[in-house]
Structure 1
């Protein structure tokens, strides 16, 4: 772990602590005013859509390395679906009734969505150099697109089933899911951005600048929200769930990516290192934004963000050592 990367981690923790202080001192109002929810909605409905539209409108679709992307996203989406299925099964077991409908999807995105920008970019640049950073940025360009589209479909399907009356057939449930998944503050700007990308028109510089300024607010706002959520909600009564999800994110997911990339796609060297380190990143702050959107497991998700970020100080050197054995 190099000093610049350690400083980056400390900066992220410091912003979370600042958010906790803001929440603890009630500078933005008490719980009845629900300021964290207001800020979360601003991020979810305004700043994040600008970020996603700009990213998808500018990505070079014609030159994406599909083999590398498949080696990463197949196991990562597999982890997401595995956690989702496991949580759906648990929800049906005795003693687990009453959990929020969106809980399985929230845990699924928390266990699979990594902090690919705030931590991932300096990690790739500092350890893997310019070539590694280029490959990492390629993954980043479609990271949110793939994972958020999948998990949004899952949660909207669950909500459609939960809210459908007994007479609603499968067709009505699927129609409601499709409508809510498409008219969504994450999915819609991604799809519109991709459609604009395919026209080949590009973005006018003033428009791109407005989107860039709006999108730049997502990172500090989400980090502050983690601290505020911890101040308002506190840590969950049991940290078992947060520790389990953190373990899946930091250890299981990169192990699966390593196995698939090495054994199935026969990737080696720099490309393999980029994929494994990307998979091992701590939980991204977008997971909390997702949890707050659906009002499920907000305290646990905030705890995973903090715990996995702190644990990454030890986990990153471990995966670098494992990769050194394969070179």
Structure 2
């Protein structure tokens, strides 16, 4: 196993394991999981996302390698929706197939493996990763929820334009896309956050990764994983292997070569990010499967990320 990969992934596994132990020992009750999810989704994640986007200069970003990444992601997202139908469950599973843990695992991994040149490529992706994938997924999920409620009689049927407008509003006034958009707009002013604002945001953002992973472990403690291990393994194989294969093929077709293509493929091979789990909690769908999938995907990545790095090194 690649030592760089192990050094990046094992802390993630240990944090999930710590949460699992806390749940099994009863230190955190199952009734507290929703409150913990609200803490992460409504406070910690917005702080992290706003601060990350508040320094992004759009004019300095290089988009061709990133375009290959998103093309592969949207193709896989669309295929998942086509196979599973237009509903909130399909949308959350499609997000799980395409959303990588690019910050907590990707930054140390790429930094150690490919140095500053690789980090420039990865940070270009990270600056748009959540903005594009999470905002797009939120719009799709909100449309799916509206469609489900209309069909079940919980919501009156509306013209499609009204439904789309409402879904877009719900997607923007949302604890994930809103701070991303606000941070990006702030960055274009050229101003810098004052220290008394930046420091609390930094501390809240730093708490996001470990607490989110601990919550995955807590939820895992109350989830019968044996029931989900087969579909969780299938989801993990799609995320860890099929996703990078699509990104590699599309990147090659677009003429992306060398380090930029390598970093995009390695980023696609990373395991599922914790935000997928938070979406499943928020929209109350497939919580058990997504919880198990995040854990299985992370463990499987010890092998699959090493394989992706080796394969790209042969080109």
Compute the TM-score of the two structures, normalised by the length of structure 2.
Answer: 0.93
1:223-269 per-residue CA deviation (whole Å, 9 max, x = no partner) reads: 001111111122162433212211111111111111111122x1211
Q: Separation in 2 of the partners of 1:38 and 1:85?
A: 34
The separation in 2 between residues aligned to 1:9 and 1:182, in whole angstroms, is 32
Matched ranges for 1:271-310 at <5 A: 271-310=260-299
Q: Which residue does 2:233 correspond to in 1?
A: 243
Match in the other structure for 1:66: 63
Q: CA deviation at 1:122?
A: 1.9
- Tell whether 2:159 aligns with 1:169: yes
SS of the residue 1:173 aligns to: helix
1:157-213 deviation per Cα after TM superposition (whole angstroms, max 9, x unaligned): 111222233442223322321221121111111222222222222322221212111
Structure 2: any 5+ residue segments left out of the alignment? none
Q: 1:44 aligns with which of 41, 45, 50?
A: 41
Quick check: 1:7 aligned with 2:7? yes
1:133-282 superposed matches below 5 A: 133-164=119-150, 165-235=155-225, 237-264=227-254, 266-282=255-271
Counterpart contact for 2:50–2:182, Cα < 8 Å: yes
- 5+ residue gaps, structure 1, are 90-100
Question: How far apart, CA to CA, are the structure 2 residues paired with 1:272 and 1:175?
Answer: 36
CA RMSD for the aligned pairs?
1.7
Looking at structure 2, the residues matched to 230 and 203 of structure 1 have their Cα atoms a distance apart, in angstroms, of 38
Residue 7 of structure 1, CA deviation: 3.0
Kindly tell me the number of residue pairs found equivalent between the two proteins. Answer: 311
Give the CA deviation at 1:5.
Answer: 3.3
Q: Does structure 1 conserve the Cα–Cα contact (< 8 Å) formed by 2:244 and 2:269?
A: yes
The question of whether the paired residues in 1 share the 8 Å contact of 2:64 and 2:256 is answered with no
Q: 8 Å contact 1:54–1:208 — kept in the other structure?
A: yes
Answer with 301-310 or 189-198: which moved more.
Answer: 189-198
Q: Deviations over 1:23-45 (max 9, x none)?
A: 1122123x3xx211111111000
Determine the structure 2 residue equivalent to 1:79: 76
SS at match of 1:217: helix
The TM-score normalised by the length of structure 1 is 0.90
